[in-house]
Each structure stands twice: as C-alpha cells, then as structure tokens.
Amino acid sequence: MSPEKTALPFVQLFTDGACSGNPGPGGWGCILRHPSSGKEKEFSGGEARTTNNRMELQAVIEGLKQLSRRSKVEVITDSTYVAKGCMEWLPGWKRNDWRRKDGRQWVPIANEEHWKELDLLLAKHAISFTVVRGHSGHAENERCDQLAVAAAAAFK
C-alpha cells in the first residue's frame, strides 16, 4: 500500500470550557478543522451544575466523538489540566486504579468518569496537545470560549 493510502487524516481540535461559578452552570465549545480541505465545524453544549475542569474535558471528549475514523489530531486547548492529564498523568492514574496520592493516602482522581471516557477516545487516535494562553487573542480559542459561555448561559 502506498504511503498516501496509509497516512492518517490530520485534524485540529480547538477546545474550551467555561463555568459561571465553580460549580455552577457550565458550557463547552470546540471547533474541528480539517486543514487540507478547509472544512470546519463547531460544536457546543453544557450542564446546569458542573465545574470548569469538567467542561474543559467535555470539550475534548465531544470533539473526538465527532471523528468517524482514526486520525492524527492536534488538540489546541488553554487547559493545562487537560493537556497534562492526557500527556503525563493518565498512565499513572490507570496503573493506580484511577487514584492519586494525597499526602500518605490514595484518593480517587477528580472527574474520573470523564477521564475514563477520554482515555478510550485518545486510544483511537494519534493525539498531540498544544496549550495556548486563554483570553490572549487566539482566534479559535476565543471562538470556543464564546461557544462555551453561550452554552453555559442557557442554564442560568
């Protein structure tokens, strides 16, 4: 098979989460972009009572759920929690039965159900993460923030 037929399609996934109060009404937004075709789609949603970290995770989960085949995905997020969790912390959490050390005790990780779902989705793709500074004029991050804030507002 030629390299062109075996190469994974490349997509960019821009994500953001928002919460009015923490916990409080929250929203997530994401943009999926296929750079070679120029096609782009926006998605958003929210919950009546949630946290900012849950919405940051949900944005990545929902974006990855939209992909129908294995892809090379660059996730662009302003959440170091999501990026570090996926790139650094996940293997240890899984090894330790989804727990982390807190002092001398083992405690369950926060947002365990979200992390488990995200872990399954990450395994389906070749993923990299790029962390951008939030509210710094990054066009796609600003748009995702608008989508997330609007989704959260629907629950106020």
**Catalytic amino acids?**
16-17, 56, 78, 135, 145
Cβ atoms within 10 A of the Cβ of 108, count? 12
Count helices and strands in the chain by DSSP H and E runs: 6, 7
Contacts of 45 by beta carbon, 8 Å cutoff, 6+ apart: 27, 28, 58, 62, 151
Our CA angle for 150, 136, 128, nearest 5°, is: 85
CB-based contact 25:156 (threshold 8 Å): yes
DSSP per position, 111-125: THHHHHHHHHHHTTS
Tell me, rounded to whole angstroms, the distance of Cα 96 from its chain centroid. Answer: 23
